[in-house]
Amino acid sequence: AQRVTQPEKLLSVFKGAPVELKCNYSYSGSPELFWYVQYSRQRLQLLLRHISRESIKGFTADLNKGETSFHLKKPFAQEEDSAMYYCALSPFGGNNRLAFGKGNQVVVIP
């Protein structure tokens, strides 16, 4: 079974401060990890995936298989980063269900 854990529910940060959202997963096989974001009154959308190894909107995330983690980081938070962030896992090359964490509400204080 796949499980994704996001420990903090609400994270408030000041504009310009660093943001780190923690994500740990449990899966016996080879996972594919994602971060999805949901801005106010908008749909869930993909922010980034580990397989792409790219930075999107200043966010990065590195898959650490030893620690089974996929933490999301941004060095300098912007007001437009205020949103709900979900970490998700899908088994690589196998079935295609996404297993989501509970999500983090990020509030960036101006």
CA–CA gap between residue 110 and residue 108 (Å, rounded):
6
51, 53, 54, 76: which one contacts another protein (CB under 8 A)?
A: 51
Smallest distance, another protein to C-beta of residue 65, A: 16
**For another protein, which residue of 24, 44, 73, 105 counts as binding (CB under 8 A)?**
44
Any contact of residue 49 with another protein (CB under 8 A)?
yes
| 40 binds another protein, rule: CB under 8 A | no
Closest by CA to 80, choosing from 47, 34, 32, is: 47
Question: Which two structure tokens, joined as six digits, stand for 97?
Answer: 């269900």
Query: Judging by DSSP bridges, how do beta strands 104-109 and 10-14 pair with one another?
Result: parallel
**Residue ranges in contact with another protein by CB under 8 A:** 32, 36, 42-46, 49, 51-52, 86, 90-103
